[in-house]
Amino acid sequence: MRGIVCEEIERFRLVDDLPEPARAPWEAVIAIKRIGICGTDLHAFKGRQPFFAYPRVLGHELAGVVEEIDPNEAGLQVGDRVSVIPYMHCGTCIACRGGKTNCCTAMKVLGVHIDGGMRERIAVPVTHLIATNDLTLDQAAALEPLAIGAHAVRRSGLASGETALVIGGGPIGLGVMALAKARGARVVAMDVNASRLAFCRDWARADATVNALEDPLGGVLAANGGELPSVVFDATGNARSMTDAFGYAAHGGRLVYVGLVGADISFHDPEFHKRELTLMGSRNATREDFERVLEALAAGGIDVGRYVTHRAALDDMIGRFETWLKPEAQVIKAMVEI
């Protein structure tokens, strides 16, 4: 079968002799139709992904059609459209036992730690499928990046009527904003990029925006009636922003790191202490988070059509990929089609 292999840093190869997936009884074979591209793929290609081994088939934002499956509790059948939960957890570690399969100690993510779905077919456990017959293929592939936002929002305990500051209006931050709005919260978006802020207002229906390059603290206060927001999400992947974020959370508030950075973050303890701040990491997502995204999509508040800004057929992906890396391309989400 055909697929694209990332052979080494900055080298993809389109091949037509990838081995067919060998399906175990608890697995289904999925004919892949859409592969969303995200920062993780860009970092892997550029060699900036720590602990990444080549060659690797990328692709973890996956939608397709069931091609082979045994009778199963979920009632999934051949021909059903599905989305894939790409986080292969062990099921036995302390995190898994506690239901936190998203941060399994032995986590293997498709397309990151093990081969992913940038190929015609893949075998995945039936437990990692979500029925998406009511969605478009693009919506089904976008479930994963949006579920990252749903997980962060759920973790924060954000309530209807609360104000959330979301720093970083990339595909991940936009998902946080959209899911926070779906929860009934007010959203203040912060970014350094004015066109991203316009997209946050327009696409994610952010109630206010703050340019981090222009008096961010004053902007946050002005956007929230003179008070700091009780929940702050940082989805920038920028250490400076993650440090500054401590100063934007209200007393008694929560600060959620959705983005991650290969650096140490330090903070001034008196600021942390006097606020009695809760600092949280947020990693991946669980089935419950995917289901929240399904509900939000059904309610009509998330326009995946405009979230997907770029697309290419599998045959053209390699040539397009380099252009997607350029900031002037203004990619939010690129989608590969098979």
Tell me the closest approach of the beta carbon of residue 45 to ligand NAD, in angstroms.
Answer: 14
Quote the Cα angle for 104-107-112, to 5°: 150
Token pair of 93 as six digits: 């570690």
> Regarding beta strands 231-234 and 254-257, do their DSSP bridges make them parallel or antiparallel, or are they unpaired?
parallel
Could you give the string, one character per residue 63-92, with x where binding to Zn ion holds by CB under 5 A and - elsewhere?
--------------------------xx--
Which of 335, 315, 334, 336 has its CA nearest to residue 326?
A: 334
Binding partner of 259, given ligand NAD, Zn ion, none, CB within 5-8 angstroms per partner class: ligand NAD
C-alpha 327 chain-centroid distance: 19
Q: By CB under 6 A, tell whether 235 contacts ligand NAD.
A: yes
Q: By CB under 6 A, tell whether 229 contacts ligand NAD.
A: no
Token pair of 32 as six digits: 């892949």
Q: Which is nearer to ligand NAD, 170 or 253 (CB)?
A: 170
Could you give the string, one character per residue 297-326, with x where binding to ligand NAD holds by CB under 6 A and - elsewhere?
------------------------------
- Are 49 and 9 spatial neighbours (Cβ–Cβ below 8 Å)? no
Binding partner of 283, given Zn ion, ligand NAD, none, CB within 5-8 angstroms per partner class: ligand NAD
Token pair of 282 as six digits: 């947020």
C-alpha 118 chain-centroid distance: 17
Instruction: Give CA separation, 269 vs 45, 133, 256, 275, in Å.
Output: 38, 50, 17, 10
Segment near Zn ion (CB under 5 A), from 78-86, 94-102, 201-209, 279-287? 94-102
What Rg value do the Cα atoms of the chain yield, rounded? 20
Touching ligand NAD, residues 155-214 (CB under 6 A): 167-173, 190-193, 196, 212
Which residues are near ligand NAD by CB under 6 A? 38-39, 148, 167-173, 190-193, 196, 212, 235-238, 240-241, 258-260, 282-284
Which residues are near Zn ion by CB under 5 A? 38, 89-90, 93, 96, 104
